[in-house]
Amino acid sequence: MTTPEQLIIIGNGMVGHHLVEQLVDNGALERYQVTVFGEERHRAYDRVHLSEYFSGRDADSLALCEADYYDVSGVELRTGEAVIEIDRNAQEVVTDQGRYPYNRLVLATGSFPFVPPIPGNDRDGCLVYRTLDDLDAIQAAAENATTGVVVGGGLLGLEAANALRGLNLDTAVVEFASRLMPMQVDNEGGELLREKIEALGVQVLTERATQRIEDGEASRHRMVFQDDKVLETDLIVFSAGIRPRDQLARDCGLEIGERGGVVVDNQCLTNDPAILAIGEVALWNQSIFGLVAPGYQMAKTALSTLTEGDIQFGGADMSTKLKLLGVDVGSIGDAHGNQNPGARMFRYLDPIKQEYRKLVVSSDGKKLLGAMLVGDNGVYDTLLQYYSNGIELPDEPASLILPQSSGAAPTLGPGALPETATICSCHNVTKGDICATIDDGAVDLGGVKGATKASTGCGGCTALLKSVVDHELEARGVEVDKSICEHFAHTRQGLYDIVRVEGIKTFTDLIEKHGNADTHRLGCDICKPAVASILASCFNEPITDAAHIPLQDTNDTFMANMQKNGTYSVVPRVAGGEITPDKLIALGEVANKYSLYSKVTGGQRIDLFGARLEDLPDIWSELIAAGFETGHAYGKSLRTVKSCVGSTWCRYGVQDSVGMAIQLENRYKGLRSPHKIKFGVSGCTRECAEAQSKDIGIIATENGWNLYVCGNGGMRPRHAELFATDLDDEQLYRTIDRFLMFYVRTADRLQRTSVWRENLEGGLEYLKEVILEDSLGINDELERQMQTVVDTYQCEWADAISDPEKLKRFRSFVNDDRPDPSIIMTSERGQPRPAQTTSH
């Protein structure tokens, strides 16, 4: 058996990790034994969303892989171990823990923040914004600060400013140039960007060169500028650009560019054929690429080089679509028009809506050379495809940036894109790749994402990806999202609208008026539960009413989850996890009386397992008499609102998370939805309630509540996304009301909020426009619908035990009152369990 070669990767950032993924996915570990050195103590994490660390995300949630990914894949990851020397003669790398031989070596050391040589830049409270440790230092410094300044008004500087603003500091940005983001926007765009950011409460100081930093009078620091003007602040963050981390390469004699960076060729090889360099440390054709997408392309090139492939790196498009401090900024190609003599420019400015768009086109008006957008990135995807693929412009190029009411050109459809069109720049996925994936068997958006990783990087291409996938599926004769089943030629959303508008309250009426009753008047296992959920969402009638009971599955029919041995679980609601001693005693007494297995769940409730069908009414009668109500553990509805102890008990808590959790659980406990919903409420950013793994996550701040949406655990975990900040109680209720009812209205059957979000055209920004800005004009209606649900709530078990007809269903045998003799229990750890279960 051939001994594998030793491949060492120095750097475990986004690009270094992507190279590991490429090696694993392409079978290169049969050839190489891979060791990765990461200077930081954390495994690779997402720097693109670094500022979210201040709004509740932690190192694990930002991590680019599961904790055991490297071990499972057979890659050795050595975190917290910095390489201090490369011995090219011995082909070894040296750390403070030893020497490690290599046959091939990849430098993925990235970059470091540039700190201008200003006297006083090393004072306490003068920090940089680059790593999680940097952010920890900023957060610690902010605890005793009220003001903060960011030195640098570029992309990273505005990200840092957003972070300081999120820490509730009065924030200012100091920029040496005459405008913010001078590399991406021109004077007009810069002025508009300044106006929008200042409107958010961030002070902007341009054309300011800091001469020194000294003791302040009212604050910790005083910044003295070139004109002797001063600015006092408690905290200073330098974010004035980056420099390649090339010291290791310098010390071992690799070729370095005049202004830094390890010189590489088209194969990402340095002047030492055993050593490659990728990402922000690599200098290709006199250029350093400071975006993640080019780094990913370099990683793929490096894989090809390491496996004798023929892929070469030929540069990268630096077009960017950003949202900084909530402001859209887009830059494509030669956005300034200074690289193409004779280029013509079109500009559109709306000072009322604060939108600025600029086109740079060839002298004949046929080709798009560049574009600039501030305030609205709605046409970014269309413009990028014109630019990237050399598509000929319409006769009136200016129509591409005009509002629709002004005769704007139609959006460039997916059918007009060539096979070579790049859809996802982060993972370099083309339209041809997507087509090939569909031809290989992918039949939906999720399948394409899983196979290509498209839209799993920055996520900016989600809407375009969906349109391409839908178009290609339809082109192959695959029907896309048309009918819920053979009985209804409608989507779930279409059925919801029909039920709501026409006030249809029974399945029979619905299938007679809008279905194909001739196929099967009773419907099927797909449409019946879906319609049952819709009817419950709209009218909140008891699901056990005679008209609705035929639609329910087993769990909803008996309002309990059936277990593997034919018994049922009993799960009363324990709002917010708060329970009195008397109720605890009542649960214990019921469990003892009916020989039930008891378990505390992860959702802060107590499950009682092993209940016989005929005992369910008696059990619930006792529980309801003790003050309990149904916990809906069996339904597609709100399950739990998990909480920490909050400010009532915890010394770190800043809000009453228990009280809020109880309020929310009681408010939404009657809502039926396309899938189950879970909430979490944390009393501070330490996040003990794990709110960011829930469909609805709420984290307390000094000023109110931060709201996160569309997370979930399970088989495909998804971290929730920050949706709104510093909401007061009433704002929080209204926002959640709208969000949940919009989800109920538009989601597909059995679709979790996370999957709904992934498939929602326009993504999170569209959702914010609908819910926070009322772009569809439906918020009042959504709130009224939710209030109806709240006002008409009734405990389903309380309703059932008061109706003799409904109680007749709770028998193991239709013609016999005896219990099911096939149910046999045994004892384990002092509790009953099914006898047929194998003990572990």
Q: Specify binding-site residues.
A: 644, 650, 684, 688
State the binding site for siroheme: 688
Compute the half-sphere exposure of residue 129: CA atoms within 13 Å on the CB side of its CA.
33
Q: Which residue has the tokens 């013509």?
A: 344
Residue-by-residue DSSP string for 389-401: HTPPPPSSGGGGT
Gap between the Cα atoms of 548 and 593, Å rounded: 33
Query: In what side-by-side order are the strands of the sheet with 568-570?
Result: 568-570, 606-611, 597-600
Q: Of 623, 619, 561, whose CA–CA distance to 586 is shortest? A: 623
Gap between the Cα atoms of 244 and 260, Å rounded: 6
CB under 8 Å to 646, separation ≥6 — which residues? 653, 655, 656, 657, 658, 659, 660, 681, 683, 700
As given in the structure block, the two tokens for residue 834 are 């099914």
Gap between the Cα atoms of 377 and 374, Å rounded: 7
State the virtual CA torsion across 805, 811, 813, 815 in degrees, nearest 10.
-40
Gap between the Cα atoms of 201 and 199, Å rounded: 5
Gap between the Cα atoms of 54 and 210, Å rounded: 27
Q: Nearest 5 degrees, angle CA 520-CA 521-CA 522? A: 90
CB under 8 Å to 228, separation ≥6 — which residues? none
**Residue 183 CB neighbour total at 10 angstroms:** 14
Cβ pair 558, 544 in contact under 8 A = no
Gap between the Cα atoms of 324 and 162, Å rounded: 7
Cβ pair 172, 203 in contact under 8 A = yes
CB under 8 Å to 711, separation ≥6 — which residues? 692, 693, 694, 695, 697, 718, 719, 720, 721, 753, 754
Q: Distances from the Cα of 9 to the Cαs of 80, 253, 281, in angstroms?
A: 14, 18, 13
Q: Of 668, 661, 640, whose CA–CA distance to 786 is shortest? A: 668
Gap between the Cα atoms of 597 and 412, Å rounded: 60
Strand partners, 204: 173
Cβ pair 706, 698 in contact under 8 A = yes
Gap between the Cα atoms of 629 and 624, Å rounded: 6
Task: List alpha helices for 375-525, DSSP H.
Answer: 380-389, 431-439, 445-452, 462-475, 492-502, 507-514
State the binding site for [4Fe-4S] cluster: 644, 650, 684, 688
Task: List alpha helices for 97-234, DSSP H.
Answer: 132-142, 155-166, 187-199
